[in-house]
Amino acid sequence: MSRYLNPAVMIRDYRHYSMHIFGFIAFIFTFLLGLFALVKHLHTEHEELALYLPYGVLIFVLNLFYLKAIRLSREDYEERLKKEKEYSQSLLASQKRFLRYAVHETNTPLAVIMANIELYEIEHGKEPTLHNIEAATKNIFGIYDDLSYLTQQDKIEYPKQEIILYDFIQSRIAFFEIVAQQSHLCFIFKDETHKASIYLNETKLQRIIDNNITNAMKYTHDGNPIEIKLYFSGTSIVFEIASYSTMIDDTEHIFDAYCRENDEEDGLGLGLNLVKTICNQEHIEIQLSSTPTRTSFQYYFPKAIP
């Protein structure tokens, strides 16, 4: 029901405006009485002013009543605001619980699908239909991993460990190879770091790498390569991923939650926001450059201290 057609809201608004109108009238009367008293003071004896004292007392009482009504109105508003806040917090907590349970229950069927695909391919070899199912399932896995991290990031400790960035990225490329093939894409991976290490939590690193790879696959034009490169820059190891895609117009807000440059593409608009959050936590610098034909993201990971 519309706010303006809700009887309870209409009554509350009527009371609210009535009190303010009453206060305005009381103020006008007080002002006029004071002005009248001032004029009389200038033209008559002081004793005659006592005749207006009852009117002054009446207006004073009316103003006190108005102030009391305003206080009660404020207390009523604060109480309603408190109840609405408690309801919103309860609703948000229920939503988080539902999302957490849904994510948890999704893990088992996804794992079963992947396990059975692998078993079938071991026994019968590669099969085009299953190839497509596997690619789609891996896309779902990416969404599952993002949601899983979002629902558990405040409840789970993510300890850091030494990771050889080259080996880790190589494993993630292998994971997404089938998905890339479905879109007629390929990866070009160059390493200039000689397998140098970084010090980071593996789950957080996977969210950064996976979201960038899936974004590159989503927006790269068919038949073009996705270029991934590792190189040194000062005391940092730079992970750069580039795609031949349309230009990102709003580079300042591309990392905002629910921001999507192209509404025709599927997605929740949360991936890069999650990446940005992790990078802020781990002091990883991000640089983005985009032209009408090529877009690249650079992530500056501090090198692991031996």
Rounded distance between C-alpha atoms, residue 7 and residue 67, angstroms:
26
More confident residue, 259 or 3: 259
Radius of gyration of the chain (CA): 33
More confident residue, 73 or 271: 271
More confident residue, 183 or 1: 183
Give the list of residues 6+ apart from residue 13 with CB closer than 8 angstroms, or none.
none
pLDDT in tens, 134-175: 777 877 877 777 777 777 777 778 899 999 999 999 999 998
CA angle in degrees (0–180, nearest 5) for 21-27-33: 135
The percentage of residues in the chain with a pLDDT greater than 70, rounded to a whole number, is: 65
Q: How far is CA 289 from CA 101, 203, 259, in A?
A: 39, 26, 17
Give the list of residues 6+ apart from residue 201 with CB closer than 8 angstroms, or none.
158, 159, 160, 161
Domain ranges of the chain: 3-92, 161-302
Q: How far is CA 262 from CA 29, 60, 74, 121, 229, in A?
A: 62, 64, 46, 36, 26
Write down the pLDDT at residue 150.
75
Give the list of residues 6+ apart from residue 134 with CB closer than 8 angstroms, or none.
114, 117, 178
* Confidence category of residue 110, pLDDT binned at 50, 70, 90: confident
Q: How far is CA 221 from CA 16, 140, 243, 247, in A?
A: 60, 21, 8, 12
CB 135 within 8 A of CB 178: yes
- According to CATH, the superfamily of the domain at 161-302 is Histidine kinase-like ATPase, C-terminal domain (3.30.565.10)
Give mean pLDDT, residues 164-189.
91
Q: Which of 57, 70, 56 has its CA nearest to residue 18?
A: 70
Write down the pLDDT at residue 113.
79
pTM for this structure? Answer: 0.64
Element (H, E) at 96: helix 53-124
Give mean pLDDT, residues 27-51.
58
The percentage of residues in the chain with a pLDDT greater than 90, rounded to a whole number, is: 27
